[in-house]
Structure 1
Amino acid sequence: MRVPALLTCGAAILSSLSACRTDYAHLPTFSTDRKLLQVVVVAPAGTNHEQRYDADKKEFVPMQLAGADHLLEFLPFPGNYGFIPSTRLPTSTTRPGNPPLAALVLAESEPAGTVMEVLPVALLLLDVNGELEQVVVSVPARPAQQILPHATDWSSLRRRYPAVRQSLNLWFQNRSRPGSTRIVGWKDEQAAAQQIKNLMD
């Protein structure tokens, strides 16, 4: 009689712990107090370990390739890679389940699960195996977290740090299998803001 009771108790504890996990996918797109765009970090800057957020389990899990954790066979993430909560991309053959809009925060490394207030500076358009992908490139809203001083929009980023665009082009083109990713183009922060608005839940 005690074993089933213990199993039931253990299941109840696990269930309650699962219920307490943060639902990152459905956090507000903009912070409630400062009305700033939010990004959930999934892969910290400087890591080669690819992760994804499992919205059903409400946890960060390693990306798998042939049954093993997938490692980038190139330079590590050049910023904190994640997503914009409460946004949804259209379903496609390579994107089942309406994933959120991807984002890259140009800042020092933050652990997975960190929610950062950011300023969008650009929208990067990629062709990945014939599928259009979009990444909102951003910087931290807090000046103390910014590693690119005074780059708060597309114009100032290009003017003050022209090599950033070239570096990100090279990284995204080479992070996967050679030839699988093509740079379609870049758009400014207004285009990024409009796309975020279009994809909000």
Structure 2
Amino acid sequence: MISGCNENTHSGTPYDHTSSLTAIRDRDFLHGISPEASGQLVNTVIEIPAGSNAKWEVNKETGHLEWEVRGDSLRVIRYLPYPANYGMVPQSLMPASEGGDDDPLDVFVLGPRAKTGSIIRTRVIGVLYMKDDGEQDDKLIAVDTDSWFGNIETLEALNANFPGITNILSTWLANYKGPGADVELMGTGDEAEAAAILARGISAYRIVREQ
């Protein structure tokens, strides 16, 4: 009988706050990096590499990348590993005033496995609409422009040339927290809808920083 397979299960590895293996503190990944890359490309900070189960995230106070801690243990996803690189757009947030969680915009980046802390130039091509515990927690879909996905510019092109990817991402998101989790997937949006979410997220961040 399998029990306890939900987001609150841990690796059992005690957290050591002094270890360089549990945090990257050499720069401010949230506030110190521009969201805009060259042209209409977007800088994306990779928190979790494709194929990893370790739950890293940016610390909103320091901007450092840290392996998330639950209780006294490092958090590990007890499901299939992340199906794509996962990260966030620096200097952005999903504002609570619009039902969001006030966290940076989340992004799945399609391309080769990247290291935690990598900054990748990406093209945003779509969005997975999602609610987590009642809060809007949409996931942008982007491509690594230096990869074999580099010529993909629309969600339609992704689905035509790489069928099944959006279904894989949706299925993973719906199940990675385990049975009973309050996760609701509400379909996909195209590149125009994703661009609008991105623009609002960057604008919301700037408004908060100016207050």
Cross-structure match for 2:105: 101
2: distance between equivalents of 1:188 and 1:164?
Answer: 14
Deviation at 1:161, TM superposition (A): 2.1
Q: TM-score, normalised on structure 1? A: 0.80
Match status 1:74 vs 2:79: yes
Q: 1:32-84: per-residue Cα shift (whole Å, max 9, x none)?
A: x4452110001111100001111433321111223211111111111111100
Alignment of 1:127-166 (within 5 A): 127-142=131-146, 145-146=147-148, 148=149, 150-166=151-167
Q: 1:132-153: per-residue Cα shift (whole Å, max 9, x none)?
A: 21111111112xx23x474331
The answer (yes or no) to whether the contact 1:21–1:58 under 8 Å persists in 2 is no
Cross-structure match for 1:112: 116
Name the structure where helix makes up a greater proportion of residues.
1
Root mean square deviation, CA, Å:
2.1
Deviation at 1:22, TM superposition (A): 2.0
Match status 1:85 vs 2:85: no
Larger radius of gyration: 1
Deviation at 1:195, TM superposition (A): 0.9
2: distance between equivalents of 1:47 and 1:141?
Answer: 22
- AA in 2 matched with 1:123: V
Match status 1:172 vs 2:176: no
Unaligned runs of 5+ in 1: 1-19
Moved more, 20-29 or 114-123: 20-29
Q: TM-score, normalised on structure 2? A: 0.76
The answer (yes or no) to whether the contact 1:150–1:156 under 8 Å persists in 2 is no
Taking a change above 3 Å as real, the CA distance of residues 135 and 153 of structure 1, as seen in their structure-2 partners, is same
Unaligned runs of 5+ in 2: 1-24, 207-211
Deviation at 1:103, TM superposition (A): 0.6
Identity of aligned residues (%): 22
The answer (yes or no) to whether the contact 2:94–2:137 under 8 Å persists in 1 is no
Given the alignment, which residue of 50, 57, 78 partners 1:45? 50
